[in-house]
Chain A
Amino acid sequence: MKIKRIGVAAIALAAAGALTLTGCTSGSPSSSGAAGDTSAIITTNGSEPQNPLIPTNTNEVGGGKILDAIFAGLVYYDAKGAVHNDVAESIESDDAQNYTIKIKPDLKFTNGDPVNAESFVKAWNYGAALDNAQLSSYFFGDIEGFSLDENRPELSGLKVVDDLTFTVALVQPESDFPLSLGYSAFYPLPESAWDDLEAFGENPIGNGPYMLDGEGAWKHNEDISLVTNPDYDGPRKAQNGGLDIIFYASQDASYADLQGGNVDVVDQIPEAALSSYADEFPDRSVNQAAAIFQSFTIPARLPHFAGEEGQLRRAAISMAINREEITDVIFEGTRTPAHDFTSPVIDGYSEDVPGSEVLEFNPEKAKELWAQADAISPWSGAFQIAYNADGGHQGWVDAVSNQLKNNLGIDASGNPYPTFAEARTEITNRTIQTAFRSGWQADYPALFNFLGPLYGTGAGSNDGDYSNPEVDALLKEGRAETDIDAANEKFQQVQEILFKDLPAVPLWYSNVNGAWNDTVDNVEFGWNSVPLYYQITKAAE
């Protein structure tokens, strides 16, 4: 299979729909085309990486933002989430299970090491081996030879054919495998990294559009200075001289710096400024749906939420929630009401999947369904939504609870856990006995990534233990399709079933909220809510 350019037009339409819904300023880049100073350094916000800067051990945005700038993977994602080759010359497969990957010739890391098949295979083997305890190891879980029970230093599914070619054998067909290859876990590592990986994590050497500005460019808790990599001549060639990512402890601090002109672009807006930032930065702000899906999960093990009674109650709860009102009033329009289980920025997204009516506010119908469920088995007790109190969730949880109270006449409330760690631990250990907040940020722009890991039987992040053989079968069929449109059709059928079962109640998509100063031009935000730094231009001072 060749990587196709996926439907850009369809996505643009979907994004436009999202914008009308929220009624805010669009973040389309100004097309003034001012040349800009190619030596100017762009300053932006970030956060201190939680882990050493090793691609397979980075799973959070702080480190991910840096890695995406200094590494080039086999493929990259453009602003619409469409996939294009970066390092890869071609990625081919006849059966969606065995892939042959060819790398462009004569590519180099910034220390002169060649980028070849070995650089990928070795890095992936390291990332997958159990003993190395890499945070992203499970991304290699579908490659033949991967094991969670014993340490295997090499994956049998990876074979170097020649200097620039390697093959990947998966345990099952996965048509979206090439789409995932732009994720940071799949970046290559230079030969020199293996001498001292610990030191490498402190001063990583990549092959991307930027590189570290010398040893010690990562000033912990302060910032990291990146400069343009003169040898990178790929599709993401930087239009500026470098990138200074300042680590902020709070969104307020980064916004104050934006106002004070100390930072060029920020991709987060503090709550206090959400209603005013679009006016303060006219035509220089964005508020658009992102690849982040928010919901609350009702575990299958809760009494009253299984079988036909469960379906009725879940649908009633979903219809009793006025998503428009909450996104407008509580989030100042910085969330987009959900119409499915994925995100509008993903290719194949549709607002009109049959069954999605269940997400529309309909209190009469909700009451009716709840009464029907009561006829099967009368409701008792309270309905609670657990959340972590350190994440700013109280507002919407209380609002949803109140709507459930008023529209269904039941006792509903939030159930706060003091910290994120505590809430996640209870969820992971299955000791939580209420519904709970859940969210998903896609690792790569594909419908499957929103569905498979969350709703497949026994899947990694299926925290509600949902299981439906029909869903499993359709997911499998979808992944076996070599044509992305045919695959997406299957995935939409999965969603039809999900709308009936509602393992999680979709709420809204998080928006990306960002703004920039008039010092910079051509600011556009990528599918993953991070600005496409390489194309930003800055006038000479």
Chain B
Amino acid sequence: MAGYILRRLLQAIPVLLGTTFLIYFMVFAMPGDPVVALFGDKTPPPQVLEAVRERYNLDKPFIVQYLLFLGGIFRGDFGVSFSGEPVSDILARTFPVTLQLAAIATVFLAVGGILIGLISGLRKGGIFDASALVVSLILISLPIFVVAFTAQYIFGVQLGWFRTTVGSGAPIQDLILPAMVLATGSFAQIVRLTRASVIETDGQDFVRTAASKGLSRRRIVPVHILRNSLIPVVTYIAVDFGVLMVGATVTEGIFNVPGVGRTLYQAIIRGEGPTVVSFVTVMVLIYLIVNLLVDLLYAVLDPRIRYVK
């Protein structure tokens, strides 16, 4: 087990190097000079442009810039943004917010999606099942910004149940509405996945055996059916959590969440190489770790799965 984890972590190193290089190169190759854009519609003298470029190392060739950046990372220095803030501070500020948002969204997703999927699966073809399918179909077809704007207008502006955007310090109660909006994106998938999985498990021999042993339905459903149906669902939720962690640009923009997606978007627009690459590096790390955790979780859910060295 420990050896397996170690091997997986070692595998992450070339992946990280490769991704940072690619991303750095892409930001570098983005057409247009970010320093020129700093001046808006006004054109400064070329000497001023040169002096500003020099300050941010933007006058150096690509590979030098990349190595300077990489060297900084090994010393724990992620560089500074145009506004003079250390990128490590930006990371430390935005990731916790997005983590909270993703966690709340995942709770909504998991609890709501699995519960509805389970009931649908157990009462296949019933009125509940049919309406759950229709509702999930509608949610799946709606673009996230439609859901976000609608929810913001109805619950924020009209009813006043939630704050329209996330206030200073991103308190948890402000994150609930954006988290619910985020959850709608994958909600339909979770419902359908759980439903299909439950239907399949329900027809398995061991379920019938359990029933013929005289076990009550109350015991069969959670222990025998649900637990065995969860493997694909857990995989999906974990991957989805990874996606949520790397930022939901649209939702964060609409609800003004000071999280990863919004900050990264701004950095890309401003052409701030160090900020973009640092964010992506951390995102890749998170993605790798989440995937590792999912693989380890399989063993917990299904004792038949073992990890060999």
Contact = CB atoms under 8 A, between A and B. Distances in A.
A422 B30 CA distance: 8
Nearest to B256: A253
A256 B94 contact: no
B257 to A, nearest CB: 9
Given A51-B83, A221-B263, A422 B42 contact: no
B255 A421 contact: no
Contacts of B152: 256
B173 interface: no
B82 A51 contact: yes
Contacts of A461: 41-43
Interface in B1-42: 30-34, 36-42
Given A220-B93, A249-B252, A260-B156, A138 B82 contact: no
Contact of B38 (A59, A221, A419, A453): A59
Contact of A421 (B36, B41, B164, B265): B36
A262 B165 contact: yes
Interface residues of B, number: 56
Nearest to A198: B84
Contact of B168 (A48, A222, A248, A254): A222
Interface in A321-371: none
Interface string A127-171: 000111101011001000000110000000000000000000000
B279 to A, nearest CB: 13
Interface in A95-134: 130-133
B33 A253 contact: no
A49 B168 CA distance: 17
B47 A260 contact: no
Given A260-B160, A421-B32, A428-B36, A220 B85 contact: yes
Interface stretch (B48-56, B195-203, B228-236): B48-56
B90 interface: yes
A468 interface: no
A416 interface: no
B112 interface: no
B165 A221 contact: no
A439 B43 CA distance: 12
A221 B247 CA distance: 15
B269 A419 contact: yes
Contacts of A4: none
Contacts of A390: 269
Contacts of B37: 419-421, 424-425
A371 B160 CA distance: 62
A250 interface: yes
Given A220-B83, A428-B43, A133 B51 contact: yes
A438 interface: yes
Contacts of A271: none
Nearest to A137: B48
A145 to B, nearest CB: 15
Given A249-B252, A249-B265, A256-B164, A460 B43 contact: yes
A257 B43 CA distance: 35
Interface in A397-445: 417-425, 427-428, 438-441
Interface string A221-240: 11100000000000000000
Nearest to A47: B266
B32 A424 contact: yes
B270 A256 contact: no
B190 to A, nearest CB: 28
Given A418-B31, A421-B33, A249 B256 contact: yes
B258 interface: yes
Contact of A49 (B83, B163, B265): B83
Contacts of A131: 51
A418 B37 CA distance: 13
Nearest to A130: B51
A419 B160 CA distance: 37
The A contact surface, by secondary structure, is mixed
A201 interface: yes
A253 B45 contact: no
B55 to A, nearest CB: 5
Given A51-B84, A262-B163, A438 B43 contact: no
A283 interface: no
Given A198-B84, A220-B93, A249-B262, A421 B168 contact: no
Contacts of A59: 38-40, 42
A233 to B, nearest CB: 30
Given A59-B39, A249-B262, A419-B32, A133 B84 contact: no
B169 interface: yes
Contacts of B128: none
A368 B101 CA distance: 63
A252 interface: yes
A262 B164 contact: yes
B157 interface: yes
B41 A250 contact: no
A50 interface: yes
B307 interface: no
B149 interface: yes
B85 to A, nearest CB: 6
A73 B83 CA distance: 23
Contact of A256 (B43, B55, B157): B157
Interface of B: 30-34, 36-45, 47-49, 51-52, 54-55, 82-85, 89-90, 93-94, 149, 152-153, 156-157, 160, 163-165, 167-170, 252-256, 258, 262-263, 265-266, 269-271
Top 4 nearest A-B pairs (CB, nearest first) are: A421-B32, A422-B32, A260-B164, A421-B37
Given A135-B44, A439-B41, 20 more contacts: A48-B266, A50-B38, A51-B84, A135-B52, A219-B168, A220-B85, A220-B89, A246-B168, A246-B256, A248-B165, A250-B253, A253-B164, A253-B253, A256-B156, A262-B165, A417-B32, A421-B34, A423-B32, A424-B41, A453-B42
18 contacts: A49-B83, A60-B38, A133-B48, A135-B39, A135-B52, A202-B84, A220-B93, A222-B258, A246-B256, A249-B262, A252-B149, A253-B164, A256-B156, A257-B256, A419-B37, A424-B37, A427-B43, A440-B41
